[in-house]
Structure 1
Amino acid sequence: MGNLLEQLHSIGGSERQANSKFSDQVLHIAVSLDKLADSLSSFYSNAPAKWNETSNVDEDYSEPEEREVEEGSFNERVFSSAELRNYTSPKPNRLSGKKNFLGLEAIYPSIGLGCAGVAADLDRYMTYKSSGICPDDWDLAQKLIVAGCDPLPRRRCFSRTPPHYSKPLPGNSSLWTQPSDANIRWNLYKCKGYTCLVSNDTIGKRGFYKCSDCFNLSKRGWEVPTDTSVSAEFTIEEVLGLKAGEIRIGLDFSPTTGTFAAMMREKNVTVASATLNLGAPFNEVIALRGLLPLYISVGSRLPLFDNTLDLIHSKLFLDGWVGMELLQYVLFDWDRVLRPEGLLWLDRFFCKKEEMELYLDAFNKLGYRKLLWRVVPKTDKLDDELFFSAVLEKPRRS
């Protein structure tokens, strides 16, 4: 092409102007072809896996220490999964250049920043057959979420179901009835049936320890007034009485199978239960009881809008393990979603005696009004811990 243009420009006389114009047109065509070639090259080098094929991932068998160095950030580690690269690319509207109801010409799917640190596991998670049955890997998904890879990318595969699923019980019956084993997929749990979750013979062998009595649906709680000198438990009647008729919707952020939410439903209060599957089918049981499970990690921002909840309750979740900086982020996020004069119910928070003042100071800094407040010794183990419970009212702010 260059030689041709050189010959055209070397022609003299009256033909020079015409040939010069022609050569410029040829040059314009050449540049356009070059751009087209670059576009096609980029397209094929980044093309996603075919609809009915499994995307290829190079498995990483290196030691964890080596992987941590390799997977430090998005710039240091390129994801191998073609399906993942395809998912995170912008998704234009069907009519190119036209904005949708969000005012955007394309949707930009998101994944969590922490995904960069667990790239090999995320590549494995995104390796599957499109339009097929998803891999049996909810435990891998939870591992990614806990590691900060949240939100996870969506996948184009069909979820697995219990093979002998039976109809759920009606709402009122399901609240306090042990779910059928057939309605839970047990293969990734240590327990392979519900009896294992509640039997005294399996204590220490169930695969979970937080909320050890959660799966015993005969145990309720929050009903009988207790000795205030030795117990930090408030009753539901006591708390709801602080705002008679005003508590309608709330969130229970606890390791739970939904017992608190079930008891609140009996009081005509709708409560979502936020928990992970901590070695047992917590979320499945919540749903089978006819309640709303919210599958979310402690590191995640609540998927709720500002000033919307009447109540947030938390038990056996925040305790002496939590660092002060994380605690601040959690509390301020809870503050965000609580409505003005909404209630924050901290239920039996516990820590070492010498650390209690540090935590109480963090709760005091919220500036909430103290409606109920109690600190008592925790006597079930060593005599070096305290329980703290409180019901706090969020102030109005301009």
Structure 2
Amino acid sequence: MRKQIPSIKRLIILLVWIVVGLGTLASPALALTDEQKFLSEVWRVVDRAYIDDTFNHQNWWLVREKLLKKPLENREQTYEVIQQMLTSLDDPFTRLLKPDQYRTLQTSTSGELTGVGLQIALDGEKGKLRVIAPIAGSPADKAGIQPADTISKIDGVSTEGLSLDEAADRMRGPVGSRVILTVEREGRAPSDFLVVRDRIALNPVIADLRTVNKPGSGEPVKIGYIRLSQFNANATTEVAHAISRLEEQGAEAYILDLRSNPGGLLQAGIDIARFWLDQGTIVYTVNRQGVIGSFEAMGQALTSDPLIVLVNQGTASASEILAGALKDNKRATLVGERTFGKGLIQSLFDLSDGSGLAVTVAKYETPNHTDINKLGINPDVTIPLDSIRSDEVGTQADRQYATAVELLTTDSMVAAGAP
């Protein structure tokens, strides 16, 4: 019996340890607050969808754990912490959109907007607020703000350190209210622009038929001019209608004006490329696993007539997808300036409180597998954009447009039916 006592004691101690251990494992975890749950919701979306699985070379799980230890007393405070978390990715396109900002974005892609009418981006190298393009006919456009301008102040407040959404918030306001934008332009001293906010009608297409005489012979050539200002929900239908109408009117060649078009819906850019292409790759997409997908032209184009595409520094995103597809498939000649260089694709995610999250989920490459992010697309014919009035765009006072007309009225291009 004496020899068994130590074994019994060890057994009892072991049983006690197991019970205590199980009790510890079974104890409920500390419940998360509503603010912590919301932060975790955003973290999970980025964790699952973001294109860079190194999360800018940081331990993404540890980022969440550290932030959960911060006092989160209200939703505004949580928004600020989430913004800090997203800023650590060093990607200005992955961002939180508060409920009012999210509604504004959804409205703009649906075809209506209120504000100054500027598409903006953060210059990654300099951290400055850069104008991609003013929306055609918008208050900013009428005030004279141009692509590649830098906005250094909004109503006297420096834009340095502001996020895109913070800058956009400062430029929003009631219809009829005023905002002063301090603009820096290459070769000029900073100047103030007074902009009166207004409701902006986003009909993205202007189209008409123009008859131009060939140099020398005087023979008339009918050119369809289509200016596309944004890839919103109306863009695909409006461009299709414009091409069909111009074909019925006898168009022999086309000018597609994508200047100062900041992009918009990816699918709209792909669908519009199919209007001009019978076959061929439109764009390649590359996700975080390096998996390459593609979108193809797969039907009869609406026209095979010669095509010139006008581009400038404000031609961005979906506009670059369309321009790159037409250039690489040798369907069009690009005239103008090097494009903006946004080769990243974002998806929008609805969040539980009515806000939204824009997350970079992939990058794209042109049909020739060219990554244009931060590089842009070089035109076939480089013509600098002169400083012209908005009512001179698409006229002979517009050198880029005039060059396109000149190219389209040469015998070789008209006879070839394509570049």
Larger radius of gyration between Structure 1 and Structure 2: 1
Shared fold (TM-score, shorter chain, > 0.5): no
Using structure 1 for the length normalisation, give the TM-score. 0.31
Using structure 2 for the length normalisation, give the TM-score. 0.30
Highest relative contact order (Cα 8 Å, sep 6+), 1 or 2? 2
